[in-house]
Amino acid sequence: MTRNLRQALFSALLVWAVAYPILGLKLTIVGINLEVHGTSPTTLMIIAACSVLMFLRVLFDQQISAAWKASPNMPVIPAKASNFLTLPTTQRWIIIALIIGALVWPFFGSRGAVDIATLVLIYVMLGLGLNIVVGLAGLLDLGYVGFYAVGAYSYALLSHYYGLSFWICLPIAGLMAASFGFLLGFPVLRLRGDYLAIVTLGFGEIIRLFLRNLTGLTGGPNGISNIEKPTFFGLTFERKAAEGLQTFHEYFGIEYNSINKVIFLYLVALLLALFALFVINRLLRMPLGRAWEALREDEIACRALGLNPTVIKLSAFTLGACFAGFAGSFFAARQGLVTPESFTFIESATILAIVVLGGMGSQLGVVLAATVMILLPELMREFSEYRMLMFGAMMVLMMIWRPQGLLPMQRPVLQLKAEPRK
């Protein structure tokens, strides 16, 4: 009992030690000096309450866990329903319903919501691409944002200097990013794990600094602005068309409304994300996809079976980077502005968090995690000061309750020829 009491006291003190400096003190600028003030009594009361709760929780740890175990374990979903939900045919219907829903809702949604959804879709694309490299091939890549930047700048530069349209630049941007992925792949072929992470991290930073310092071409820290938006078969969504172009609302004889542009961008993003989902889904069931996973599991066994690890690694890097290139060029088109500051390390970390949160290798997991990761900060704008705190708390809780991710990857069940069982 004394041991419990000591532990409980220590935990309560720890609550104070962590919470008081962060929440209990406020820095204010008075003139040119920085002054420290205590915060309102309410905050202090909350911290005190938390520490008391923590004290009780640790003190009665055994009783609580015993009570928890004793309570009957109610299944959240009845077995029959969960079985029905995981049937392949049901899942196909659910996916079709989701796609139709995603196609239809923006016409009824608000402008802000559609805009955020577009951002979510960009991260879905990035997450899917990184999932190839990290989730499937098991190569920890911390510089993924570099490929995203290459894609974005490819479109921005081609559009700025040569006036090429989005639809022509999209495949070019993908190819450019893919070739950078290929180039990065070569030097890192021998590296694994931590070493690979460091080198790729450096690569991402090099790309950003390069874009920043190549002022003559890329505009340096100011970036490139006034990038053209995508067109709908040559029809622009602006109020007034540039010379030789026609606007969407004039062609269809409808009133000009700026939301049309937002919806159109959303639909383009949806199209690209679905394309990525489809391609990667097929790849998973191809020998190449299986080889990626085999490489993650055991490189030596791969070699002993005649799989060339060099080709497998390079293909993972190249294809992963290609999807980042698509996402990047779309990002440039949507923003209308690219600067090196859009491609900092924190972006790489966010994308990696999406892959890990969703469950390594799981595609629906990536979609769900991207939604959570982008939507939560947007929904909780008022609490933006505590964003990092919540982010950390989420990660810790994840590691405790679902270390394998929100929707961990399901192994495909391959049907053998059905034989009558005796």
Residue numbers at the binding site for other proteins (CB under 8 A) = 279, 282-283, 285-288, 290-291, 293-294, 297-298, 300-309, 411-414, 416-417
| Beta carbon nearer to other proteins, 65 or 308 | 308
In the complex, least distance from residue 290 CB atom to other proteins, rounded to whole angstroms? 5
Residues 344 and 145: beta-carbon distance below 8 Å = yes
| Beta carbon nearer to other proteins, 224 or 291 | 291
In the complex, least distance from residue 323 CB atom to other proteins, rounded to whole angstroms? 14
| Beta carbon nearer to other proteins, 384 or 410 | 410
| Beta carbon nearer to other proteins, 36 or 414 | 414
Beta bridge partners of 392: none
In the complex, least distance from residue 418 CB atom to other proteins, rounded to whole angstroms? 11
| Beta carbon nearer to other proteins, 220 or 309 | 309
In the complex, least distance from residue 414 CB atom to other proteins, rounded to whole angstroms? 5
| Beta carbon nearer to other proteins, 297 or 341 | 297
| Beta carbon nearer to other proteins, 285 or 387 | 285
SS (H, E, C) the chain: CHHHHHHHHHHHHHHHHHHHHHHHEEEEEECCEEEEEECCHHHHHHHHHHHHHHHHHHHCHHHHHHHHHHCCCCCCCCHHHHHHHHCHHHHHHHHHHHHHHHHHHHHCCCHHHHHHHHHHHHHHHHHHHHHHHHHHCCCCCCCHHHHHHHHHHHHHHHHHHHCCCHHHHHHHHHHHHHHHHHHHHCCCCCCCHHHHHHHHHHHHHHHHHHHHHCHHHHCHHHCEECCCCCCECCEECCCCCCCCCEEHHHHCCCCCCCHHHHHHHHHHHHHHHHHHHHHHHHHHCCHHHHHHHHHHHCHHHHHHCCCCHHHHHHHHHHHHHHHHHHHHHHHHHHHCEECHHHHCHHHHHHHHHHHHHHCCCCHHHHHHHHHHHHHHHHHCHHHHHHHHHHHHHHHHHHHHHCCCCCCCCCCCCCCCCCCCCC
In the complex, least distance from residue 309 CB atom to other proteins, rounded to whole angstroms? 7
| Beta carbon nearer to other proteins, 37 or 421 | 421
In the complex, least distance from residue 411 CB atom to other proteins, rounded to whole angstroms? 5
In the complex, least distance from residue 307 CB atom to other proteins, rounded to whole angstroms? 6
Residues in contact with 421: Cβ distance below 8 Å, sequence separation at least 6, in sequence order: none
Closest by CA position to 145, among listed 129, 164, 166, 162: 129
| Beta carbon nearer to other proteins, 215 or 310 | 310
In the complex, least distance from residue 88 CB atom to other proteins, rounded to whole angstroms? 14
In the complex, least distance from residue 125 CB atom to other proteins, rounded to whole angstroms? 18
